[in-house]
A and B are shown apart, each in its own frame.
Chain A
Amino acid sequence: MDATVPVKRQSFLTWFRTMWGSRPLFSTFIALLVMIVLQTLALGFNYPSFGAWLGAWLQNWINILRNNAGIGIISLGMTFVIISGGIELAVGSTLVAVGAVIMMLIDTGPMGILQNMGITGVPAYAIAILLALVLGTLLGEFTGLLITRGNLPPFIATLGTMKIFRSVTQHFMQGYSPVVPRGFLSIASFNIAGQLLMPIIYWIILAVVLHIVFTRTTFGRQVIAVGSNERATRLSGVNVNTIKRRVYALTGLLVSIAAVVQVARIGAMDYANAGSGYEMDAISAVIVGGTSMAGGRGTIMGTVLGTLIIAVMNNLLNLMGVPPFLREAFKGVIVIGAVLLQRKEKTS
């Protein structure tokens, strides 16, 4: 046994090096570990007991996860879009539009649509959520149609829809502040062991489901094929337009889920600012997670790690007392650094 120890240590180094070079996910994971160590150090150990420290550490983590569940869910959809070779800039605007529709439906004020139809409580919530999901999917489908039938570059098409969705929402919601009933809030704030865990649970479930969709289903593999070589995919008898439309529809669906969670968590929405910058945050998470902007390469797992890296870094900066205006700069550094790192792996 004694003789094997030094051999094992050496082989660990070589193992580490080959893993680092050959598995993009591995380096992303190591980056996250480093972040977590730094964050743990920044949190400090100045607690009366180990239990108190652990409690604080866990509480901090639950806060991080809950605050990032929305963007995490949206990033999952963005992963599909980017791997298919596209881009979706309208996720924030779609979030606002869908959020506004939910709130109009469940409003308990004088203008609440479902209330005026005599539907309240759980049935109203169910209808509102269902309609929200359908609306998000349709908005995504609309974007997909612009890109496939209209033959528009995804950047242009979604730049357009980004402006349209938000501006129309803002116009119609002027001077109207719906009242979100308390019951609806329990979608996000249902207590488990005294903690608000629901958004985190939604995020985890969706990540697992989409990981399976991505790796195991015809649709998931065809998305990679489209991003890898669209022409070759079409000439392999795959209906590329259908795949692309489904990718944007799926993203719309995920955004609408994020909208439900957000409305339920906050109970209100600022139509001018809610979700703004989400497109860039989601793209950053996807890129940091190792997905190629050129399409064809990437993973759902990577995006989850990417979202966490950025989230933990934000938390770290917060704990270290870095002024808020400077934090965005760190985000930029991390995105550029991640891509440089991935590039180096490829050439070496």
Chain B
Amino acid sequence: MNVEMRAICKAFGANVVLKNVDFSLRGGEICALLGENGAGKSTLMNILGGVLPADQGQILIDGKPVVFQNPAESLGAGIAFIHQELNLINDLPVYENMFIGRELKQRNGLLDSRRMIQETQAVFDRLGVTLDPKAMVRDLDASYKQIVEISRAMMMNASILIMDEPTSSLTGPEIARVFEMMRALKDQGVGIVFISHKLKEVMEICDRYTILRDGCMVAEGKVSDVATDDLARMMVGHDIRTTALQRKRDTRREILRVEKLTDHHNYFDVSFSVHAGEVLGITGLLGDGRSELFLSIFGAGTDYTGQVYFEGRPVRMRSTTQALEMGIGYLPRNRKENAILKDMNILENGSIVTWPRIARFGFINRLLQEKQFSAQVKGLRIKLERPTDPIINLSGGNQQKVVLAKWLSSNPKLLILDNPTQGVDVGAKEEIYDIILDLADEGVAIVVLSSEAQEVIRVCDRALVMYHGVIQGEVSGEAMTEHNIMRLATGASLS
């Protein structure tokens, strides 16, 4: 099945999101749809998936024009949209999820589990998936959830699959598993749109690419004709650096020292130290315990044995308030769940940390609040219309900068950044890296937690690699390579 979108235009009020965008996809190919946050990728795919109507333009399926009023019509035409947030019900088994909304029933009206299991198994067999249809979705890892959702689309005879950042929450081996399935589908003639920020994956799995920038299609072509840097440049519109910076820093003053920290569950016998002006990377695979470790240090995690020293004094954070007052900042992972106050405006999201400091007799000093925030907006180059707009109006990268802004305005001595560029596009990523390096130059001790080896190499002076809650090794300088980090992260040693 071939899909063609011609001269698609879409505007939300005065905000023009898509300008005459063409997009095409043939059966049996994987096409990457690339662009920074806010470039219009999701809007374009939402139009194809029947979620949004186009203002102008045409969609052709095998040469015939079609109009989708809603997602069901689009699905009926064979187009399935796998959203970033998966649509599975954790408390039901796999086979019931496969049939949700159109359950098979026996003549007496009860569910026909046997037939649903059989049909699920048949689909899995056809797609080469080894998975028990009776398994609970809760017990599956993220890649299998992804696979269940894809299988469900295939069961409904989808021949075009739109995958919105399918790998953003997956680990290395899980990504490989999903890719394997994507290749199998491609061989069966299914066309796949792959939306991702990870250019390396695009190079690995995709045949063609289409790049959007500010609502316009700026480039398309074969992936085999370009390199990662070319894609990044076309997305951003100018050159970006991908190599590490060499810095010389004064890192004599110790800020944080951790000795033999153990919570007997997530991390074990962890010891390390961070100095002023240093960027320390902590990396490993998902679930290696690094987030839990730093949540504990920040006073929001599990109880531990061992000792934490801050600026040479033994400390134990009883609350995040105490950590904040001591000069520790913490940017959590999963912005939506852990950092965004969705009912509050941009200004409040960007200043909540410093309210007690700028308050007099409990009243927030609004002038000071605005002054302080606008300084951060300027420094971090946050793009916004009015500070009093809701936070959810901003793109992912700008939301992340607002979260960063609230911590920067507290002037931390130690800044812990957990996955600081999660869901952030290439251009904003670079800006965040620059901010991190500038802060380090000003003498802030910085800890970057990340599972992206490239990111760690890019910004960190040295990195600790964790494996199952234990520090498996340390890399720095020349030895800080993707290869070495991956070896340590999977439990091997360097020598």
Residues of A in contact with B (beta carbons under 8 Å apart): 216-219, 221-222, 224-225, 227-229, 231-239, 241, 296-297
B130 at the interface (CB under 8 A from A): no
- Could you mark each residue 333-366 of chain B with 1 if its beta carbon is under 8 Å from any beta carbon of chain A, else 0? 0000111111110001000110110010011100
- Tell me the complex Cα distance, A232–B320, Å: 11
The verdict on A217 contacting B359 (CB below 8 Å), with A225-B341, A229-B341 known, is yes
Residues of A close to B323: CB separation below 8 A: 237
Residues of B close to A217: CB separation below 8 A: 359, 362-364
- Tell me the complex Cα distance, A227–B341, Å: 9
- Tell me the complex Cα distance, A140–B348, Å: 28
Which chain B residues in 291-314 approach chain A with CB under 8 Å? 298, 300
B324 at the interface (CB under 8 A from A): yes
Residues of A close to B340: CB separation below 8 A: 229, 232
Count residues on chain B whose CB falls below 8 Å from chain A CBs. 29
B339 touches A235 (CB 8 A): yes
B467 at the interface (CB under 8 A from A): no
B208 at the interface (CB under 8 A from A): no
The verdict on A233 contacting B343 (CB below 8 Å), with A221-B348, A221-B355 known, is no
Residues of B close to A225: CB separation below 8 A: 341, 344, 348, 352
B353 touches A237 (CB 8 A): yes
User: What's the nearest-Cβ distance from chain A to residue B466, in Å?
Assistant: 21
- Tell me the complex Cα distance, A236–B353, Å: 5
Q: Which residue from chain B places its CB closest to the CB of A230 in the assembled complex? A: B341
B321 at the interface (CB under 8 A from A): yes
Most buried by A among B320, B323, B348, B359: B320
A231 touches B337 (CB 8 A): yes
Residues of A close to B298: CB separation below 8 A: 235
- Tell me the complex Cα distance, A297–B298, Å: 29
User: What's the nearest-Cβ distance from chain A to residue B412, in Å?
Assistant: 10
- Could you mark each residue 352-394 of chain B with 1 if its beta carbon is under 8 Å from any beta carbon of chain A, else 0? 1101100100111000000000000000000000000000000
B194 at the interface (CB under 8 A from A): no
Which chain B residues in 233-272 approach chain A with CB under 8 Å? none
- Could you mark each residue 269-284 of chain B with 1 if its beta carbon is under 8 Å from any beta carbon of chain A, else 0? 0000000000000000
- Tell me the complex Cα distance, A235–B334, Å: 12
A228 touches B341 (CB 8 A): yes
Residues of B close to A222: CB separation below 8 A: 352, 355
Q: Which residue from chain A places its CB closest to the CB of B342 in the assembled complex? A: A228
A224 touches B343 (CB 8 A): yes
- Tell me the complex Cα distance, A214–B107, Å: 59
Which chain B residues in 404-438 approach chain A with CB under 8 Å? 406, 410
User: What's the nearest-Cβ distance from chain A to residue B328, in Å?
Assistant: 9
- Tell me the complex Cα distance, A86–B319, Å: 21
- Tell me the complex Cα distance, A316–B97, Å: 52
Most buried by A among B330, B355, B356: B355
A236 touches B343 (CB 8 A): no
Residues of B close to A296: CB separation below 8 A: 341-344
Residues of A close to B355: CB separation below 8 A: 218, 221-222
B35 at the interface (CB under 8 A from A): no
Residues of A close to B324: CB separation below 8 A: 237
Most buried by A among B321, B343, B359, B362: B343
Known A-B contacts: A235-B332, A237-B321, A241-B319. Give 15 more (CB < 8 A): A217-B364, A218-B359, A221-B352, A222-B352, A224-B344, A228-B342, A228-B344, A229-B341, A229-B342, A231-B338, A235-B330, A238-B352, A239-B320, A296-B342, A296-B344
- Interchain residue pairs with CB less than 8 A apart (28): A216-B363, A217-B359, A217-B363, A218-B356, A218-B359, A218-B362, A218-B363, A221-B344, A225-B341, A225-B348, A227-B343, A231-B337, A232-B332, A232-B337, A232-B340, A232-B341, A233-B341, A234-B300, A235-B339, A236-B320, A237-B320, A238-B352, A239-B319, A239-B320, A239-B321, A296-B341, A296-B342, A297-B343
| Closest A-B pairs by Cβ, 7 of them | A237-B324, A296-B343, A228-B343, A228-B341, A239-B321, A218-B355, A217-B362
Most buried by A among B323, B342, B406: B342
- Tell me the complex Cα distance, A219–B362, Å: 7
- Tell me the complex Cα distance, A221–B352, Å: 9
User: What's the nearest-Cβ distance from chain A to residue B362, in Å?
Assistant: 5
User: What's the nearest-Cβ distance from chain A to residue B80, in Å?
Assistant: 25
User: What's the nearest-Cβ distance from chain A to residue B290, in Å?
Assistant: 16
Q: Which residue from chain A places its CB closest to the CB of B320 in the assembled complex? A: A237
A216 touches B364 (CB 8 A): yes
Most buried by B among A224, A228, A231, A237: A237
- Tell me the complex Cα distance, A229–B336, Å: 9
- Tell me the complex Cα distance, A231–B291, Å: 15
A233 touches B352 (CB 8 A): yes
Residues of A close to B352: CB separation below 8 A: 221-222, 225, 233, 236, 238
A236 touches B406 (CB 8 A): yes
Residues of B close to A236: CB separation below 8 A: 320, 339, 352-353, 406
Residues of B close to A227: CB separation below 8 A: 343
- Tell me the complex Cα distance, A239–B320, Å: 7
B343 touches A218 (CB 8 A): no
Residues of A close to B339: CB separation below 8 A: 232, 235-236
Q: Which residue from chain A places its CB closest to the CB of B356 in the assembled complex? A: A218
User: What's the nearest-Cβ distance from chain A to residue B285, in Å?
Assistant: 23
B321 touches A218 (CB 8 A): no
Residues of B close to A224: CB separation below 8 A: 341, 343-344
- Tell me the complex Cα distance, A32–B23, Å: 53
Residues of A close to B330: CB separation below 8 A: 235
User: What's the nearest-Cβ distance from chain B to residue A5, in Å?
Assistant: 29
Q: Which residue from chain A places its CB closest to the CB of B406 in the assembled complex? A: A236
- Tell me the complex Cα distance, A188–B373, Å: 47
A235 touches B364 (CB 8 A): no
Most buried by B among A218, A229, A236: A236
User: What's the nearest-Cβ distance from chain A to residue B389, in Å?
Assistant: 13
Residues of A close to B319: CB separation below 8 A: 239, 241
Q: Which residue from chain B places its CB closest to the CB of A298 in the assembled complex? A: B343
- Tell me the complex Cα distance, A238–B323, Å: 10
A232 touches B338 (CB 8 A): yes
User: What's the nearest-Cβ distance from chain B to residue A216, in Å?
Assistant: 5
User: What's the nearest-Cβ distance from chain B to residue A232, in Å?
Assistant: 5
- Tell me the complex Cα distance, A298–B339, Å: 21
A221 touches B320 (CB 8 A): no
Residues of A close to B337: CB separation below 8 A: 229, 231-232
- Tell me the complex Cα distance, A145–B362, Å: 23
User: What's the nearest-Cβ distance from chain B to residue A181, in Å?
Assistant: 37
Residues of A close to B343: CB separation below 8 A: 224, 227-228, 296-297
B320 touches A238 (CB 8 A): yes
- Tell me the complex Cα distance, A225–B339, Å: 11
- Tell me the complex Cα distance, A241–B320, Å: 11
Residues of A close to B344: CB separation below 8 A: 221, 224-225, 228, 296
